[in-house]
Amino acid sequence: MRSTVVLLTVSSLAASALAATYPLKDSFVGKGFLSGFSHEAIADPTHGRVQYVDQATATAQNLTFASDTSFVMRADDTTVLAASDAGRKSVRIKSNAAYTTHVSVFDIRHMPQGCATWPAAWEVDEANWPAAGEIDILEGTNDIEPNQMTLHTSPNCVQPASGRTMTGSVVSTNCDTNVNGNQGCAVKAPTANSYGKSFNAAGGGYYAMERTNSFIKIWFWSRNDASVPADVKAAGSSVNTDSWGEPAALFVPDTCDIPSHFGAHNIIINLTLCGDWAGQAQFFNTLGGCPGDCVTYVNQNPSAFSDAYWDIAGIHVYA
C-alpha cells in the first residue's frame, strides 16, 4: 500500500510538468487598462492605511495615468494626513473578465517600493473567497526581497514540503485560510531582483502564471535576463509554456484538488499601505528596517511614497 501511494505521488508530480500552447485571449496595454479593468473604490479588505479611489478621481489626481504604451497607478505622495483622515489615496484595479484555465503574462517596468508598501498582483474571485481560491503572483512588503508566491484556499489543500520541480523555496505548505493566520502555502522566488528595489533597479521584469486543472506554475524573468522566452518578451498570438523552463513556483494536485478549490478569477493589481501584513511589527520594524509606527509613518511622510507606483507595459492573457 505504501509503495502504491509513492508511485501515485511521483506520477502526479510528473504529470504536473506537462504544459501546452495557448492562444491569445485578452491583451491590456496602456489605455486598454481603463476599459479592461475597473477601479475598486472599496474599503481595503486587508485594513491598510489607504483610501482606494474610483477611476475619475484617480485620473483627475494623476494617481492613474495611461499612454499608448504604459499604465501607471500610484499612491498619493503630497498630502500629510491627520489621524482622522480616511487614508492615503491609492489605486486598486480588477479585470472585467474572469479566467479559469489560462496563462497570464505580466510585463512590469516598475513596482511600488518603500517602507509601509504592500503591492500585489494576484488572481481571485472576491465574491466567493476563499471557496474559489486565490493565487498571489507578485507580493511582498516593506522592500523585503525576494517575491513571495502563494495560494490561499478553503480547507483540505496542502502542498508538499519537498519534491516539487521549481527554483523557489518552500515557506509554508498549508493553503487553508483558516490556519497559520492565513499564511497560505507560499514559495519564495530564488532571486532578490524578483521584488522591490532590486526589481526596479533591473528595469523590472516578467511574471507569468499558468493555471490548469493539474497544476499552477509561476515564472519570473528579470528584464535583461538572457533566458526570457521570446513569446514572453514580445506578446504574440500564442504562448508555449513548454519552452519556459523550470518555474519559480509549482503547486501540485497531490493533496489539493485544484478544480474544487479554484474558480473563475479576476486579475487584481493594488497597492495598500500597512495593513494586516505590512503593518505588523515583525515586518515593519525588524525585517524592513523602517522607522516607528507604520500608520504614523504613512500619515506624516508623503514624499516617502514617490516611488510607490506601478508602471506596467502590459498584461496578456492566453486561454
Beta strands in 212-300 (DSSP E): 216-222, 238-240, 249-251, 266-273
CA distances for 19 relative to 67, 69, 108, 179, angstroms? 34, 30, 24, 32
In the numeric block, the cell 497531490 is attached to 254
Let me know if 210 is a catalytic residue. no
In the chain, what's the furthest Cα-to-Cα distance?
A: 65
The answer to whether the beta carbons of residues 56 and 64 sit under 8 Å apart is: no
DSSP code of 154? S
Cis bond leading into 130, ω under 30°? yes
Residues found in the chain: 319
Q: Is 313 exposed, middle or buried (0-12, 13-18, 19+ CB in 10 A)?
A: middle
CA distance linking residue 57 with residue 75, whole number of Å: 12
CA distance linking residue 75 with residue 51, whole number of Å: 9
Of 40, 123, 139, 210, which residue is the catalytic one? 139
Of 126, 134, 145, 210, which residue is the catalytic one? 134
Q: Which cell numbers in the block locate residue 220?
A: 519570473
CA distance linking residue 283 with residue 280, whole number of Å: 6
CA distance linking residue 210 with residue 317, whole number of Å: 10
Let me know if 139 is a catalytic residue. yes
The answer to whether the beta carbons of residues 115 and 143 sit under 8 Å apart is: yes
Catalytic residue positions?
134, 139
